[in-house]
Amino acid sequence: MKYYSTNNKELKVTFREAVLNGLAPDGGLYLPQCIPKINLELFEKADLTIQEIAQEVLSDYINEEISSSELSVIINQSLNFEIPLKAVNDNTYVLELFHGPTLSFKDVGARFMARVLSLLTRNDNNETLVLTATSGDTGSAVANGYYDVKGIKVIILYPENGVSEIQEAQMTTMGKNIFPIKIQGTFDDCQLLIKKLLNDKELKNKKQITSANSINIARLLPQIIYYFYAYSKLKSKKKIAFSVPSGNFGNITAGLLAKKMGLPISFIAATNKNDVFVKYLFSGVFTPQPSLPTISNAMDVGNPSNFYRILELYGHDYEKLKSNIISYSITDEETKSTILKVWNENNYLLDPHGAVAFAAFEKFKTNNQGATGIVLGTAHPAKFQQTVEKIIGTKIEIPETLSECLKKEKSAETLPADFNKVKDYLLEKN
Ligand SMILES: *Cc1c(COP(=O)(O)O)cnc(C)c1O
């Protein structure tokens, strides 16, 4: 399978190149040249394990460079935590993707990509710098995925005042090959810096660099797996709609790939007040905006980087796209009242991101009677302890992995949102 740039269909590279480049040299994002079709019967008949599903779903994407036994090892090591599908009420389920080491769904992509990168570069002499921008959860998931992996250094850019205390503690208390940088700016600044750094000729000549953001195809592909997995659990249900809490739209892009592969599902792109996608579906015009702060901060993205992948998957056909994806913008007030309502009525605790998706499915349901909703639970509620406790008025239990890192000393470099300053830091210190 070859991968092409969303900016130029003729620019084709191997999977290895796509993973190492992160972003295509022309600034585009990589997509597979063709989308393999799956045999749906396999999922209708048998009860496959998530590992078996992963093997089925992913092998065509990577089998030229990664053998099926290597893939099997990578899958077992990356998906080594449970992904329960919990019924919240009669027609709504939450797929809990947050039982990995950093309690974020980003563990799936980050752990998979770390192992893929390490495999693809095992014969290289140069150290690989993995650059990533985070609005909260990517940083710790990536750091954890690559922690102490030989030949790899991880540079994390995060916005000052843009991440929670727990999130900051998670990524600044690791040490070893993990280098967090606090940027005096917003997440969009961090993301822009990464894009420029990845395309900087001097840096590229001196270092082997790649990105671990959701722009990297190796993070996107493993996220396809759990759409199939959840579907296989609920295959007897009719009209399954996934409600995906979206920021950079990587997670939903993986879902759309699953749909293109043949999964009969529909999609709700749930956003907070950062609603450029909702506006796009309404008007056909995509206008990036500065990001606005909300209580679902990992979704505070004003220029979702996967937008062009989505356009591409629909052949730039606005009408088609519009008839395939529904999108809602949920206010902080609605998010809070959803958390409280579901807690009181169903005894289930949502985190603010899952709550945005839950609220979006509630809206969807009013026009789609009989639909079964699968809400993606992207973070453990304890990661947003203060917010959640204030809403439900009760103390919640904090998993040990989180309380441990809060005790450790934090260490991060602080830099302005200035391309040259960050570049110099990378050239000098790393
Ligand atoms: C990153 C993140 C999202 C958004 O995922 P995208 O793939 O960027 O759309 C949603 N929820 C949580 C908790 C996240 O960390």
Q: Which of 9, 45, 86, 106 is catalytic?
A: 106
Q: Where in the sequence is the domain holding 252, given as residue range(s)? A: 82-102+220-397
What is the model's pLDDT at position 272? 98
Determine the distance separating the centroid of ligand 1 and the alpha carbon of 279, expressed in angstroms: 19
Looking at the predicted structure, is the pLDDT value of residue 297 above 80?
A: yes
Which secondary-structure segment (H or E) carries 241?
strand 240-245
129-143, 365-379, 390-404, range with the lowest pLDDT: 129-143
Going by the DSSP 8-state scheme, the letter that residue 157 receives in this structure is E
Tell me, yes or no, whether 402 lies in a domain: no
153 labelled catalytic: no
What's the rounded mean pLDDT across residues 79-107? Answer: 95
Do the domain assignments include residue 277?
yes
Looking up residue 239, the CATH number of its domain turns out to be: 3.40.50.1100
With respect to residue 416, please indicate whether it lies within any of the assigned structural domains: no
pLDDT of residue 124: 83
Which residue shows structure tokens 């998993």? 399
- Residue 151: its pLDDT value, please? 82
What residue owns the CA closest to ligand 1's atom 15? 137
What is the Cα–Cα distance from 236 to 103, expressed in whole angstroms?
30
Mean pLDDT, range 422-426, rounded to an integer? 95
Query: What is the average per-residue pLDDT within 86-90?
Result: 97
Q: Is residue 247 part of a domain?
A: yes
Cα-flanking dihedrals φ and ψ of residue 223, to 5°?
Answer: -70, -15
- Contact between residue 99 and residue 82 where contact means Cβ atoms under 8 Å apart: yes
Q: What is the pTM (predicted TM-score) of this model?
A: 0.91
Q: Tell me, in angstroms, the distance from the centre of ligand 1 to residue 205's CA.
A: 32
214 lines ligand 1 (CB under 6 A): yes
Mean pLDDT, range 87-94, rounded to an integer? 97
How do residues 142-194 score in pLDDT, each as one tens digit? Answer: 899 999 887 899 999 999 998 888 889 999 999 999 999 999 999 889 999 99
Q: Is 255 in the pocket of ligand 1 (CB under 6 A)?
A: no
Rounded to an integer, what distance in angstroms lies between the CA atom of residue 183 and that of residue 194? 12
Which residue, by CA, sits nearest to atom 14 of ligand 1? Answer: 298
> If you average pLDDT over every residue of the chain, what do you get?
94
Terminal-to-terminal C-alpha distance of the chain? 34
Q: Is residue 18 one of the residues assigned to a domain?
A: no
pLDDT at site 269: 98
User: Is 375 touching ligand 1 by the criterion CB < 6 Å?
Assistant: no
pLDDT tens by residue, 251-281: 999 999 999 999 999 999 999 999 999 999 9
pLDDT at 148: 83
Q: What is the pLDDT of residues 20-72, one digit of tens each?
A: 888 898 989 999 999 999 999 988 888 899 999 999 999 999 999 999 999 99
pLDDT higher than 90, residue 371: yes
Under a CB-based contact definition with an 8 Å cutoff, are residues 140 and 164 in contact?
Answer: no
| Position with higher pLDDT, 125 vs 208 | 208
178 CA to centre of own chain: 20
8 A C-beta contact, residue 359 and residue 338: yes
What is the structure's pLDDT at 140? Answer: 87
Q: How far is ligand 1, taken at its centre, from the CA of residue 139, in Å?
A: 12
Instruction: Please write the tens of the pLDDT for every residue from 203-251.
Output: 989 988 888 876 899 999 999 999 999 999 998 888 999 999 999 999 9
What's the pLDDT score for residue 228? 97
CA distance 37 to 339: 38
Look at residue 271 in the predicted model and tell me its pLDDT: 98
Based on the structure, what is the number of domains in the chain? 1
Could you tell me the pLDDT band of residue 309, with boundaries at 50, 70 and 90?
Answer: very high
Query: Is 57 within the bounds of a domain?
Result: no
Alpha-carbon distance of 430 to 423, in angstroms, equals: 10
Percent of the chain surpassing pLDDT 90: 79
Q: Is residue 345 part of a domain?
A: yes
Give the pLDDT of residue 127: 86
185 inside domain: no
- pLDDT exceeds cutoff 90 at 354: yes
